[in-house]
Amino acid sequence: MKHIAILGSTGSIGKNTLQVVRNLKDKFRVTGLSTHSQWEFLAEQVEEFNPSHVALSNPQLAEKLKHRLSYNQTEIICGNNCLKDIVLKSKADIVVSAVVGAIGLSAAIETVQAGKILALANKEALVMAGNIVMPLAKKNQILPVDSEHSAIFQALQSGKQNEIKRIIITASGGPFYDFPADTLAGVTPAQALKHPTWRMGQKITIDSATLMNKALEIIEAKWLFNLEAEQIDVVIHPQSIIHSMVEFCDGSVIAQMGMPDMKVPIQYALTYPEREGLNVEPFDLPRIESLTFKKPDLEKFPALKLGYLAAREGGTIGATLNAANEIAVQAFLEKKIRFTEISFFVEKVINNHRFIKDPCLEEILEADAWARQEIKKCLT
Ligand code: NDP
Ligand code: MG
C-alpha cells in the first residue's frame, strides 16, 4: 500500500488523481490533501478519503473547515508553509504536485529532498528552477504527469540517453490555431477558455491558447530529460492522439498514443514501473480516421519563441517568463489586456530583466518577484 499526498486536490489534475486512486483502492491510500479556497469540496474529499493531514492555504477559510470537520481526526494545516508541511507530515511515499503556478516550487524541492517520489503536473516548478530541482533528484524520482512528458518518458524506455536524436512534442494548437493572425487581438477570455480536446484549469487553458503552455513544456522537457534546446521540436497535432515522440539516432521514431485522458499519465506516474488496468475510451483508429500535423507558426504564436529562448539560454529567463505570464494571464481573464498582449508583455519583461546565467534559488525567487512587479507596470 503506497501513501499519496495530492497538492491541489480540488483542481482538474487533483480530481483526476483521486479518480485513479478510487479505482486502485487496494494499492493506494491518500494521506494528505491540499487546496487553496474550495474548503467545502476539500471537506467532502476528507470525508471520502480520510487523510491524516490536509492543508488549506487561504487562512481566512481555515476556521470554516475546522468547524465543518470538528468531529474528524484529520489534522488541518494552514499558513504560508502548508504545502511543504503536507509533504512531510502526511508521510507520503508519492507527492502529486497539481497546484498551479510558482507556488508549487518549494513543495517540489521539499519532496525531492525528502527522498519521496514527485509525480509532477506543476510544470512551473521546473520552468522556474530546473537547475535547482533536477540535481537534487535521483533517476526516476521525478515522474512526469504532463501528458507529453509522460509520452516521452514512456518512449525513452526504447533506447538510451546517448541514442536520442530529438524529441517531438505534440500540441493541439488550442482554439485559435487556424484563426487569421489579425483577429487574435480581439478574442475574448470565454473563447480562449474553450479548449478543443482537453478540460483543464483556467490558467493552463489560456496557456494552451497562446501556446505558452508549449513554451513551458519545452523548458520542462529540457530539464526532465537533460536535452539541448536544439533537440526539442514541436508539431501541431489537433487530434491530441499522439501525445509526443522520441526520434533515436537510427531514425526510429517511438510515439506514445491514446485517447486524450489525463488519468492515463497520472496513473502511470503513480504505478511506475508497473501498469494497472484503466477504463479509458476505446482507441478506435477508423473512427478517428486521420491524424494530421502542421508546423507551428512562431510569428502568430510568439510565446513559442520565448520557450526556445528560455530553453537555450537558461538562467533566470524561465522564472521571469513564468512569473510575467502568470500575471498576464490573470489580467487577460479580467479583461485588462488583449490576448496578444500576453506574449507581447512577457517578452518585454524578459528583455528588460537582469539575466543571471547560473542562479541560486534566492536569485530565482528574486527574478520571479521582480517580473511580477515589472509586468504590472505594463498593465496600468
Ligand atoms: P486547476 O486550476 O484546476 O487546479 C489548481 C489547484 O491548485 C486547485 O486545487 C487549487 O485550489 C490549488 N491552488 C490554486 N492556487 C493555489 C495557491 N495559491 N496555493 C495553494 N494551492 C493553490 O489547475 P489544473 O489542475 O488544470 O493544473 C494544475 C497544474 O497541472 C498546473 O501546473 C498545470 O500546468 C498542470 N497540468 C495540468 C493539466 C490538466 O489537464 N489540467 C495537464 C498537464 C499539466 P482551489 O481549487 O481551492 O482554488
Ligand atoms: Mg501538456
Q: Which ligand is nearest to the CA of 41?
A: 1
The gap from C-alpha 161 to its chain's centroid, in whole angstroms, comes to 23
pLDDT at 295: 97
Q: Indicate which residue's Cα is closest to atom 17 of ligand 1.
A: 36
Give the SS3 label for residue 249: coil
pLDDT higher than 90, residue 45: yes
Same domain, 6 and 134: yes
Same domain, 100 and 208: no
The domain that holds 112 is classified in CATH as 3.40.50.720
Same domain, 33 and 125: yes
Mean pLDDT over each residue of the chain, to the nearest integer: 97
- Ligand 1 centroid – CA 201 distance (Å): 6
**Cβ–Cβ under 8 Å, residues 176 and 209:** yes
Query: Which ligand 1 atom is the nearest neighbour of the CA of 8?
Result: 9
Is the residue at 340 inside a domain? no
Same domain, 187 and 252: yes
Q: Which ligand is nearest to the CA of 200?
A: 1
Same domain, 83 and 23: yes
Q: Tell me the three-class secondary structure of 131-189, residue by residue.
A: HHHHHHCCCCCEEECCHHHHHHHHHHHHCCHHHEEEEEEEECCCCCCCCCHHHHHHCCH
What's the predicted TM-score (pTM) here? 0.98
Section 172-194 average pLDDT: 96
Cell (9 digits) for 279: 477504463
Model confidence at 59, in pLDDT bands (50, 70, 90)? confident
Model confidence at 198, in pLDDT bands (50, 70, 90)? confident
pLDDT at 67: 92
Is the residue at 228 inside a domain? yes
pLDDT higher than 80, residue 370: yes
pLDDT-above-90 percentage for the chain: 95
Range of the domain at 93: 2-144
**Residues with beta carbon inside 6 Å of ligand 1?**
8-14, 35-38, 57, 98-100, 103, 121-124, 146, 198, 200-202, 204, 262
pLDDT higher than 80, residue 380: no
Q: Indicate which residue's Cα is closest to atom 2 of ligand 1.
A: 201
Residue-wise pLDDT for 304-331, tens only, equals 999 999 999 999 999 999 999 999 999 9
Residue-wise pLDDT for 256-289, tens only, equals 999 999 999 999 999 999 999 999 999 999 999 9
pLDDT higher than 90, residue 32: yes
Query: Which ligand 1 atom is the nearest neighbour of the CA of 213?
Result: 34
Q: Indicate which residue's Cα is closest to atom 15 of ligand 1.
A: 36
Q: Closest Cα to residue 247, out of 307, 149, 312, 163? A: 163
Report the domain count for the chain: 2
Q: Which ligand is nearest to the CA of 122?
A: 1
Section 87-95 average pLDDT: 96
